[in-house]
């Protein structure tokens, strides 16, 4: 007999533990602001959804009202977003998109060669922060594909202004050492700002994971023209690292 799994119960239990465990970390506005380093920029890549799914909430594992979860290691991704002065960023929208367990994005050019997209995977979600700047996503552990190491894509927006585009990496991946996009961030200290640990969720009976990634944004919106990797559809790059075309965008 299969174990009965209640996604809502797990999400509520996890959030309760996360909030209680970290409530005292930033009790004063602007605390340690002088020590903060802005989260480095990383290219958006060519696989931002060219058609958003009907469901765009912060649970990428279940699509709409489906009871069938997507394939992959369920990961609870949490964190706080701060302004560069150290205050929590209230009312910002964080977007997250990722490839499914087969390396496929929800994009017309985002299917890995020889693979089909997971029909149960939402692939994209967003979350509006409250006064504490916190966010939460239920996603899957990212997988490597082609030349790329495991990563999430993240964008932070204030109103209609994109404040930060970046990627979040799994510390356990050997491909981190050779991934050209991660390496382009700069020295080891700077790259470390983009890498986080994936740890077993205490008490989970289905192998769920947790990951925490705090984000520090500047006060000036990004200029999309400076992102040479933001090519959109038709670049010729495939998630398996193959394909033809003049575009050089990477996912």
- Per-residue pLDDT tens digits for 169-189: 999 999 999 999 999 999 999
**Does residue 246 fall inside a structural domain?**
no
Instruction: Please list the residues that pair with 76 across neighbouring strands.
Output: 138, 210
CB 224 within 8 A of CB 234: no
Q: Tell me, yes or no, whether 157 lies in a domain.
A: yes
pTM (global) more than 0.75: yes
Query: What gap in Å lies between CA 179 and CA 155, rounded to an integer?
Result: 20
pLDDT tens-digit map of 212-249 = 999 999 999 998 877 766 644 322 233 433 333 333 34
Give domain status of residue 135, yes or no: yes
> 10 Å Cβ neighbour count for 218?
13
Residue 51 resides in a domain: yes
Angle at the Cα of 75 from the Cα atoms of 186 and 119, rounded to 5 degrees? 105
Coil vs helix vs strand at 57:
coil
- Structural domain that includes position 156: 37-221
The per-residue pLDDT for range 83-128, each reduced to its tens digit, is 999 999 999 999 999 999 999 999 988 887 668 889 999 999 999 9
Number of domains in the chain: 1
Neighbour count for residue 128 (Cβ, 10 Å): 12
Q: How far apart are CA 103 and CA 145, in angstroms?
A: 6
Does 171 reside within a domain? yes
- On whether residue 231 sits in a domain, the answer given is no
Q: Are 53 and 110 in contact (CB under 8 A)?
A: no
Instruction: Please indicate, yes or no, if residue 202 is contained in any of the structural domains.
Output: yes
């Amino acid at each position: 007999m299969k174990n009965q799994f209640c996604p809502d119960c797990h999400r509520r239990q996890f959030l309760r533990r996360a909030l209680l465990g970290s409530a005292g970390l930033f009790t004063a506005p602007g605390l340690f602001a002088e020590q903060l380093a802005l989260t480095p920029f990383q290219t958006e890549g060519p696989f931002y959804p060219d058609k958003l799914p009907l469901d765009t909430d912060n649970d990428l594992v279940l699509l709409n009202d489906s009871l069938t979860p997507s394939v992959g290691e369920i990961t609870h991704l949490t964190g706080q977003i701060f302004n560069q002065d150290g205050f929590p960023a209230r009312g910002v929208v964080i977007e997250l998109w990722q490839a499914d367990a087969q390396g496929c994005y929800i994009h017309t050019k985002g299917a890995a060669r020889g693979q089909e997209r997971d029909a149960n995977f939402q692939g994209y979600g967003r979350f509006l922060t409250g006064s504490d700047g916190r966010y939460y996503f239920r996603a899957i552990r990212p997988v490597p594909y082609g030349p790329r190491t495991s990563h999430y894509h993240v964008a932070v927006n204030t109103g209609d202004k994109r404040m930060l585009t970046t990627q979040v990496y799994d510390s356990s991946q050997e491909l981190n050492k050779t991934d050209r996009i991660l390496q382009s961030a700069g020295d080891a200290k700077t790259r470390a700002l983009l890498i986080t640990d994936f740890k077993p969720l205490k008490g989970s009976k289905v192998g769920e994971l947790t990951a925490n990634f705090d984000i520090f944004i500047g006060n000036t919106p990004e200029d999309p023209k400076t992102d040479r990797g933001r090519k959109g559809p038709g670049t010729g790059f495939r998630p398996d690292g193959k394909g033809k075309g003049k575009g050089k965008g990477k996912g």
